[in-house]
Amino acid sequence: MKQNKVIDYQQFKIDNIETVIKSINENTSTMSGGSYNPVFLTGTIQRANAVNHNGRLYRKDILSKQIDEFITTKVNTNNALGELDHPEERDWISLQNVSHNIKKIWWDNDDVKAKIEILDTPAGHILTALIKSGINPGISSRGLGSFVNKKVLINGIEEYVSEIQDDYKLITFDFVTNPSTQGAFLKLSESESLTKSEIEKNARINEINNNITSILELLTK
């Protein structure tokens, strides 16, 4: 199954906002000759077993596998870097755009929580300035993978959702604005909200593609 870029938005409610603002106000950048004390944010960065506003569903077993790998390979090596805004054409991390480093990740029921350090970088300065001005950024997972459109029961009602498959590969978490305001997010197969008819249409297309693939496989045998 073809892998696509999977961009998923989560409103990031900063749990420790008062402490964060105090730390920001006390800091002066090392780039201007001052001293910089790290600023840390904590909040929810992803959620399992719930249909998000994109009509997308991450099963906890699939998301747990990727979170565990991300912790082992990135967080534990102090290299869980993320950017300010998603890149349009690449999957790798650009160091010149890095704004933060995820220091710790843990589960709170089905929520993925994180402690995030804002870095003393140009992108990090923009992020701190936004927060200081009362602007609460969103956070968005960046990954590669496929999904299948299927019917599931939600609150007793049968609805179509896009279920992430087990080939999903988490790349990182970026701070972003609301995806509906950025056309590039639509290019990456995400929008703020897919209507029920759009999800059903995607499901029919997915079913047709699977049938064509099966026919082609039979013809080549």
Q: Average pLDDT for residues 11-29, to the nearest whole number?
A: 67
- Decide: helix, strand or coil at residue 28: coil
Does the structure show a pLDDT above 50 at 25?
yes
Angle value at C-alpha 80, between 169 and 105, nearest 5 degrees: 85
In this prediction, residue 52 carries a pLDDT of 78
Tell me the whole-structure pTM to 2 decimals: 0.70
Contact 185, 13 (CB under 8 A): no
Distance CA 57, CA 209 (A): 21
3-state secondary structure of 35: coil
Q: Which residues, at least 6 apart from 165, have a Cβ–Cβ distance to it below 8 Å?
A: 1, 62, 145, 146, 147, 148
* pLDDT at position 31 over 60: no
Instruction: Identify the pLDDT of residue 5.
Output: 60
Please give the Cα distance from 116 to 200 (Å, whole number): 37
Q: What is the mean pLDDT of residues 49-55?
A: 80
pLDDT in tens, 80-137: 999 998 777 677 888 999 999 999 999 999 999 999 999 999 999 999 888 888 887 8
3-state secondary structure of 120: coil
202 confidence band (pLDDT: 50, 70, 90): low
Count of beta carbons in the 10 Å neighbourhood of residue 189: 15
Q: What is the predicted pLDDT for the residue at 157?
A: 77
Residue that is written with structure tokens 């000759």 in the block = 33
Burial class of residue 3, CB neighbours in 10 A (0-12, 13-18, 19+): middle
Q: What angle do CA 159, 160, 163 make, to 5 degrees?
A: 125
pLDDT in tens, 140-196: 888 888 888 888 776 777 878 888 999 999 999 999 875 422 222 222 223 333 444
